Amino acid sequence: MNPGIGHDKVQPFPQPDPATVSEKAAVKFKPSLQIHGACHPYPAVNAAGETSDGLKGTGELDGHCKGSGLGSQVYGRSGWHKDLWAIMYSWYFPKDMHYSMIGIRGRRHDWVSTVVWLDNPALEKPKILAVSTSTTNGEYDIVKDGPPSCGRWSSDPPFTVYINGTSPMLKYRTGGASAGTSLALTTERFGEFQDLVMWEQLTEEARGPLSEADFGEKAKVPFIDANFNSNLEAVPVNATHSSTFASHFPGG
């Protein structure tokens, strides 16, 4: 395994031209990400397999991590799960800082992920059925398409307000003492896009070290072989459409 390098020295992968059904869907439904009072996303690994050393969890909330001059990165991986097509998008952050009862606390490295659930990427117009976002305790929240939930005094906004065209809109922000840094859907159209590289598009030299790297117990890489399926299992989603489309599609 290659040694780690400075967090601002990791060269991202340029976004390849999508060739397969799954790659085209991943690009089409790529989320935007808004940063609010927190570190910006950085590449975690380069083509040679050198991984980020991250940053010590001290200083300002976004100190020394307001964005890489080399460019940022979002990592993707997709597959069928419970008769739905799941596209996982993951971002790496050199440090995770948040407020606590005794001041600002932090740690080196953070990973967050979202899963966009489709009916079938091979359809002429695939539909987003749900979007799930990772939480600080290793679970996933989920917002599903359909009638909004209504209480006595309020109701949830319709699912469509979180989608800009075909892109879910997300916000990564620093929360309070109990919330930590969180990822959630937002109605605000201030997010940015990062170059997407799918798991299969990474070099073999990058996949190995990324799978073996120790980013800490609270910053496990969401999409590597050891974690991808278990993370999908953690999402409370069930197929609401006919499973006939799960015969998959030609071309991958």
Average pLDDT over residues 48-72: 94
Angle at 251 between CA 246 and CA 252, to 5 degrees: 55
Predicted confidence (pLDDT) at residue 243 exceeds the cutoff of 50? no
CB atoms within 10 A of CB 3: 9
Predicted confidence (pLDDT) at residue 27 exceeds the cutoff of 60? yes
Predicted confidence (pLDDT) at residue 170 exceeds the cutoff of 70? yes
Predicted confidence (pLDDT) at residue 103 exceeds the cutoff of 80? no
Q: How far is CA 23 from each of CA 41, 43, 63, 238, rounded to the nearest angstrom?
A: 22, 20, 34, 23
Q: What is the pLDDT of residue 37?
A: 86
pTM over 0.85, yes/no: yes
**How far is it, in rounded angstroms, from Cα 182 to Cα 184?**
7
Average pLDDT over residues 16-30: 98
Q: What is the pLDDT of residue 123?
A: 97
Q: How confident is the model at residue 242 (pLDDT cuts 50, 70, 90)?
A: very low
Predicted confidence (pLDDT) at residue 241 exceeds the cutoff of 80? no
Which helix (H) or strand (E) is 24 found in, with range?
helix 21-28
DSSP letters spanning 152-165: SS-BPPPGGGGEET
Which helix (H) or strand (E) is 9 found in, with range?
none
Label residue 179 left, alpha or beta by phi (over 0 means left) and psi (-120 to 50 means alpha).
Answer: alpha
Predicted confidence (pLDDT) at residue 237 exceeds the cutoff of 80? no
Q: How confident is the model at residue 177 (pLDDT cuts 50, 70, 90)?
A: low
Average pLDDT over residues 203-232: 96
